[in-house]
Amino acid sequence: MAFSTLRALIGGGGGGGNPYAIFGYGSTGSNVSTTNKVDSSGNVATDTTGVGTARNGLAAAGYGSDKAIFGYGNTGSISSLTNKVDSSGNVATDTTGVGSARNGLAAAGYGPDKAIFGFGSTGSYSSLTNKVDSSGNVATDTTGVGTARGGLAAAGYGSDKAIFGYGWTGSISSLTNKVDSSGNVATDTTGVGTARDGLAATGYG
C-alpha cells in the first residue's frame, strides 16, 4: 500500500489554535522536499524550494509554542531523518535519524511543548513511538503499545493529550490509542466508526 505525507502545524503542539501551518515533502511522481506555508487566513503560499532529503510517507507535528518537525519517511529506502521548522516556517537541513527507520507513521503534538511520532512500517508494521522534547530532540524508540499498523493518523486534543487512530494492520482498522500528558501510549480502544487507512487528523476548537 502507498503512504502519503502529512502536514505540520506551527504554533503549538496541542489540540488547536495554531495561527500558521506548513505542507511539506511528498511525491509528485518522484520524491520532493518542497514546502508550502499557510498563513493565518488559510492562504497557501507558492512553493518554497525544498530543504533536506526528499521523501514521502513521513509525518509531521507542531511542538513548542511556535515550531514544528517533519520526520521519518521513504527516500527510496525507509529513513529516520528529521527536519525542524522554526517560527518563521523555515525548514532546517536534515538531523541525523534517531529511532527505527520507518514510513507510513503518524505524529501529533501533545501538551504545550512536545510531540510524538508513532507506529508505521519498518519493513513490517510496528507500534514503536518516539517522543520529541521542547527543543525538537527526538528520543530513542519506546517499545510499542497497541496494535502495530501503518497508514494511520494522529492529532492533539485537550490541552495536553493526543490520539493515534485507524490505519492498516494487514486489513483496515478503526482502533485508537490515546496518548497522555507524559507521552505514554495506551492500549487499544476498540474501534468506533468505519475502518480505514490513509486518512488524516487534526485538532479543532
Give domain status of residue 191, yes or no: no
User: How does the average pLDDT of the chain come out, rounded?
Assistant: 92
Count of domains for the chain: 1
Question: Is the pLDDT reported for residue 2 higher than 60?
Answer: no
Give domain status of residue 35, yes or no: yes
- Domain CATH for 72: 2.120.10.80
DSSP 3-state of 22: strand
**Per-residue model confidence (pLDDT) at position 27:** 96
Give domain status of residue 186, yes or no: no
Give domain status of residue 29, yes or no: yes
CA end-to-end span of the chain: 33
Give domain status of residue 187, yes or no: no
Range of the domain at 113: 7-179
- Over residues 52-64, the pLDDT tens digits come to 999 999 999 999 8
Q: Which of the four pLDDT bands, split at 50, 70 and 90, describes residue 14? A: low
- Over residues 133-173, the pLDDT tens digits come to 999 999 999 998 999 999 999 999 998 999 999 999 999 99
- Over residues 61-88, the pLDDT tens digits come to 999 889 999 999 999 999 999 999 999 9
Q: Which of the four pLDDT bands, split at 50, 70 and 90, describes residue 193? A: very high
Backbone torsion region of residue 19, taken as left when φ is above 0, otherwise alpha when ψ lies between -120 and 50, otherwise beta: alpha
Give domain status of residue 185, yes or no: no
**Per-residue model confidence (pLDDT) at position 171:** 98
Give domain status of residue 133, yes or no: yes
Question: Is the pLDDT reported for residue 24 higher than 70?
Answer: yes
Q: Which of the four pLDDT bands, split at 50, 70 and 90, describes residue 8? A: low
Grid coordinates of 59: 509525518
Question: Is the pLDDT reported for residue 13 higher than 90?
Answer: no
Comparing C-alpha atoms, which of 26, 21, 63, 62 is closest to residue 44?
21
**Per-residue model confidence (pLDDT) at position 151:** 98
Give domain status of residue 193, yes or no: no
Q: DSSP string spanning 110-139?
A: ETTTEEEEE--BSSSB---EEEE-TT-PBP
Q: What are phi and psi for residue 51, nearest 5 degrees?
A: -125, 140
Q: How far apart are CA 64 and CA 50, in angstroms?
A: 23
**Per-residue model confidence (pLDDT) at position 205:** 82
> Which residues touch 41 (CB under 8 Å, ≥6 apart)?
none
Question: Is the pLDDT reported for residue 12 higher than 60?
Answer: no
**Per-residue model confidence (pLDDT) at position 39:** 95
